[in-house]
Amino acid sequence: MEKSNVFVGGAMFAAFVSSLCCVLPLIAVVFGLGAFGTAAIFETVRYPMIFIAFAALAYGFYRVYFRREECAEGESCATKPVSRINKIFLWVGAIVIVAFALAPQYTGYMAAAITSPSSPATEPAPVVLTEEPVAKKTIVLQVRGMTCEGCEAHIEVPLRKLRGVITADADYKQHNVTVVYDSAQTTVEKIKEAITATGYELI
């Protein structure tokens, strides 16, 4: 049954490649890395890779549960029983493949949980001694390369850390990011630089 294991292993690799468009931005958010906007390249191969993964997985199930040895006429032969370890590997592979295939459905929630601001009850609120007037402005920028919610977080996190940015909300479906900022503390050029530093392109 080594051949079925090879197919399942190949299926897991194909499923992993298909999920990179969402996994890489999430990794970037976790480790504070930039220049992962190129993960959008994997979006073009996502569906072909998913098809290959499930086709290979289906063949693995066929070999384990349905295939029978062909015997010539007059010969007596029996199908070699499938080992328990092969069946376990097959089902583990199926779970991994489904998890990778569904990556766009849950990476957004993971990114939101990672990037949500912490507010410990014991931490005292900051004391504001003086309140300066805020020259609040809003800008909507078109961004190329976002493929899922993980990409949204990858753009929002560095923008929210930029001095003068009040809010930053990216929308991968609309391919844009809405930024509310204090024009006295930052500029549109700095906001654009923060976005392109992550690897995404401005349209």
Helix axes 103-115, 149-161, angle to 10 degrees: 20
Question: What is the C-alpha to C-alpha distance for residues 142 and 126, in angstroms, rounded to an integer?
Answer: 35
Percent with pLDDT over 70 in the chain: 73
Q: Which of 33-37, 62-66, 67-71, 169-173 holds the top average pLDDT?
A: 169-173
Question: What is the C-alpha to C-alpha distance for residues 83 and 77, in angstroms, rounded to an integer?
Answer: 18
Higher pLDDT, 74 or 122: 74
- The whole-model pTM stands at 0.61
Residue 122 confidence class, pLDDT cut points 50, 70, 90 = very low
Mean residue pLDDT of the chain comes to: 79
- Average pLDDT on 101-129 reads 62
Q: Report whether 40 contacts 203 (CB < 8 A).
A: no
- Average pLDDT on 64-81 reads 62
